[in-house]
Amino acid sequence: MIALVRSEMLQLRTLRSTWLVPVVLLGLVGLIGGASMADVGKPGGMTPAELREPLVVPAGIMSAVAIALFAAIRVGGEYRYDTIAQRFLAAPRGRVVVAKLLTYATVGLFLAAAAIGLGLAIAAPGISAEGLSLGYDTAGIAGLIGSIMLGAALFGALGVAFAFISRSQTAALLIVIGLFPAEKLAALILEEKAAYMPYGLLQSLIDQGGAVSPGVGGALLSLTAAVAVLVAWRLAARRDVT
Amino acid sequence: MTLIETRHLTKDFGSVRAVDDLSFAIEEGKIVGFLGPNGSGKTTTLRSLLGLVTPTDGDARIRGVAYSEISDPHREVGSMLEASAHPARSASGHLRVLAAESSVPKGRIEEVLDLVDLAGAADRKVGGYSLGMRQRLGLAGALLGDPAILVLDEPANGLDPEGIRWLRGFLRGLASEGRTILISSHVLAEVAETVDEVIVINEGRLVTHAPLKDLTSRPAGGKVRLRTPDLVRFEIVARDCGLEVTERNGSSVTISGSNQEAIGQLAHEHRIVLHELVSEGPSLEEAFLAMTDPTQEVSR
């Protein structure tokens, strides 16, 4: 398994476009965070929740979406360029799925950590200088960072699963991108039940207006990702590679 | 020792039977051409052998076990199914990924790039490669683990004459190292100078599995050409013996349905002088086409 994960990491390193993902993500997080902090201290004041939003939403949502898209593109690309057969010839298919899962979940963890770290680095000095607070103690900050990292890791796993299930780069991308508007549309019919879909659960996990507590959101999102990965694992093992 | 074997291998894709009760065995050290027209089931058979396609019935084995049961597959079996690689990755990057999967030392990458004459283009993106270069990269990947068994699916596909010549020499080199090679093609001439045996399939079924020389010595397609100054008398004698003169060209005739020895004996018995007596078996291509043409009766 170590050799397979090492090979997956090498696959990422041997394509220059890989580096676009952190550059674009961190650029956007920095841009949004910096722009938002420009309003800090202006008349009217900001509540801790208002201060947290431009910090948590870009890092939490964008890093999760970025790693899901990245996983869908790269794993779907294995089908697009017919290199998936090479992966399955080197190792049992289930292990290939697990190796990709571990790789993209790990990359998601690091991406999210970097995004929230950058957001905090931009926000903290300005907030502190104005005598304001995010309303978190040390444990709260740790919990926030942990939930953002978990969200990204789970969305990375979902991206991998969608690619294995669809066996198509385009379809996997459309699923990741289309899930968000699909959830909004589903809310019109399912009402609050739509909050139990992946993006709704992510909002709960990072405590940004979800329907359930972060703990329950994290647990349900983990369950959703586990089911998707299990389906992907079963299909990858059983389908012919033609 | 049998290294590669299929036993009653059958594969259906929906209502289409791609491979139909196919059984063959390949002995160690043999270079075997796996031939058949496009759509005859060659790729499905090879993918079944490599565990990528699950047979509907029967099985395919390497050294007596299914591919999935081989503990270190890249070191045991090298395969080239498609000349596939991510177009934005360099050749060396592509091979580094394959090497990492199988824990092959990095030094081997340079060796195989040298073997396929790609060392000079190792750092170029694969997307900029010609089809021939991509085929060579595929061969490099197959050789990475220095396997004793090679399974190559249409490696000459799309190659220009220069590329095909290079491939023949390359395969001859691999053969001289004692490897067992199964190489598929839909063009017999591509592999005819390299292989020891041929397995011919058509519509998923085995047509023949024989040494290459047997293909051209089958009596059904045999002809004998002779040249004689006494052509008129020879034709009379030939007809009296029930032989068919199929072609006439100056002092030469071509006789079907006999062989060199019988014609020589006949001429001698009738004191007819022969200036030339040549056995004209069917060309390899003719033999192959005859076997895979559903409108012709097949000699099996």
Nearest to A89 among B50, B53, B87 (CB): B50
Average pLDDT on A32-57 reads 71
A196-226 burial, b if ≥16 CB within 10 A, otherwise e? bbbbbbbbbbbbbebebebeebbebbbebbe
Chain A residues in contact with B84 (beta carbon < 8 A): 81-83, 85-86
* Residue B244: band (very low, low, confident or very high) from pLDDT cuts 50, 70, 90: confident
CA distance B167 to A162: 40
- Are A116 and A148 contacting, i.e. CB atoms less than 8 angstroms apart? yes
DSSP state of A137: -
Encode pLDDT of B249-268 as tens digits: 888 888 877 778 888 998 99
Encode pLDDT of B171-207 as tens digits: 888 888 888 999 998 877 777 778 888 898 988 999 8
Question: In this predicted structure, what is the pLDDT of residue A184?
Answer: 82
Chain A residues in contact with B82 (beta carbon < 8 A): 82, 85
Chain B residues in contact with A87 (beta carbon < 8 A): 101
Encode pLDDT of B5-35 as tens digits: 999 999 999 999 999 999 999 988 888 999 8
Question: In this predicted structure, what is the pLDDT of residue A120?
Answer: 83
Q: Which one has a higher pLDDT value, B101 or A52?
A: B101
A77 pLDDT exceeds 90? Answer: yes
Encode pLDDT of B31-53 as tens digits: 899 988 888 899 999 999 999 99
Question: In this predicted structure, what is the pLDDT of residue B159?
Answer: 77
Percent of chain A with pLDDT over 90: 46
Average pLDDT on B275-282 reads 78
CA distance A197 to A217: 10
Q: Which two three-digit tokens encode residue B99? A: 């090497």
Question: In this predicted structure, what is the pLDDT of residue A53?
Answer: 72
Hey, are the CB atoms on A16 and B79 less than 8 Å from each other?
A: no
A16 pLDDT exceeds 70? Answer: yes
Nearest to B96 among A14, A16, A241 (CB): A14
Task: Give the 3-state secondary structure of residue A136.
Answer: coil
* Residue B295: band (very low, low, confident or very high) from pLDDT cuts 50, 70, 90: low
CA distances in angstroms from A184 to A198, A207, A224, B48, listed in the order given:
12, 18, 18, 45
Encode pLDDT of B119-150 as tens digits: 999 999 999 998 888 988 999 999 998 899 99
**Contacts of residue B57, Cβ cutoff 8 Å, sequence gap at least 6:** B8, B9, B10, B21
A82 pLDDT exceeds 60? Answer: yes
- Are B196 and B31 contacting, i.e. CB atoms less than 8 angstroms apart? yes
Nearest to A10 among B52, B97, B141 (CB): B97
Nearest residue to B206 via CA among B20, B50, B48: B20
Question: In this predicted structure, what is the pLDDT of residue B218?
Answer: 56
Encode pLDDT of B60-118 as tens digits: 999 999 999 998 888 889 999 887 889 999 999 999 999 998 888 888 999 999 988 88
Encode pLDDT of B150-166 as tens digits: 999 988 887 778 888 88
Question: In this predicted structure, what is the pLDDT of residue B96?
Answer: 93
B220 pLDDT exceeds 50? Answer: no
Chain B segment 114-143 residues within 8 A of A by beta carbon are 141
* Residue A89: band (very low, low, confident or very high) from pLDDT cuts 50, 70, 90: very high
B298 pLDDT exceeds 60? Answer: no
CA distance A177 to A65: 8
> Across all residues in chain A, what is the average pLDDT?
87
Encode pLDDT of A105-141 as tens digits: 999 999 999 998 888 888 777 777 777 777 677 777 8
What beta strand segments (E) does chain A contain?
A: none
B222 pLDDT exceeds 70? Answer: no
Task: Give the 3-state secondary structure of residue A83.
Answer: coil
DSSP state of A140: H
Angle (deg, nearest 10), helices A138-166 and A198-205:
160
